Every structure is written in C-alpha cells, then in structure tokens.
Amino acid sequence: MTLTEMYEEAMADIRQEAKAEGRAEGRAEGRAEGRAEGEQRSSRRFVETMLETRFGAIDEELAAIVASIASLPVEEYTPILLNASRAELLARFSAQ
C-alpha cells in the first residue's frame, strides 16, 4: 500500500467518524429540543387548566397572559395561580 493510499484511507475513516458524530449530536440536540418543547407545552396546558378551574372559560384577556405565566418556573407560578385574583393576574402579567 502506498503512502497516498494510506492517507486516502485514513481521511475516509476520519470523514466517516465525523459523519457519525454529527448524526449523534443532531439526534441528541433533537431530543433535547423535543423535551424542552414538551415541557413548555405541559406548562402552558397546566396554566390554562388552572385558569379554567378558577375562573371558568379562558377569555381573550386571560389567554393573553398564559405564555407570560408559563414562562416562570413551576414553583413560582403555581402559588400565584392558586392565590392571585383574576384582577391581580391581569395587572401583573398584562404589562409583560
């Protein structure tokens, strides 16, 4: 085997490994993004359910603050949803 052939074979192996690493990284990133998106949807749904339970159907004003509330950590927004009045929630989150 010549030096050129050895070099070409080594480069082919390196390219193959790089492709495999790229695919593995892509899958890991995709899983992480999917997990984050699922958690975000779950938080929004939880906030919506709490608002519906406390205040009935969600009107436009409440719908407009769901994302702001859900962006908080669950430990922070749960007590707020349990204790704040509709007016307090709108005053706090409508400005954001």
Q: What is the pLDDT of residue 31?
A: 78
Q: What is the pLDDT of residue 96?
A: 61
Q: What is the pLDDT of residue 4?
A: 75
Q: What is the pLDDT of residue 69?
A: 96
**Mean pLDDT for back-to-back runs of 10 residues, the chain (96 residues):** 70 75 75 80 91 93 95 93 95 84
pTM as predicted: 0.67
56: left (phi over 0), alpha (psi -120 to 50) or beta: left
Q: Which two tokens stand for residue 5?
A: 């052939």
Residue 48 three-state SS: helix
- Can you give 32-95 as a three-state secondary structure string? HHHHHHHHHHHHHHHHHHHHHHHHCCCCHHHHHHHHHHHCCCHHHHHHHHHHCCHHHHHHHHCC
Q: What is the pLDDT of residue 35?
A: 80
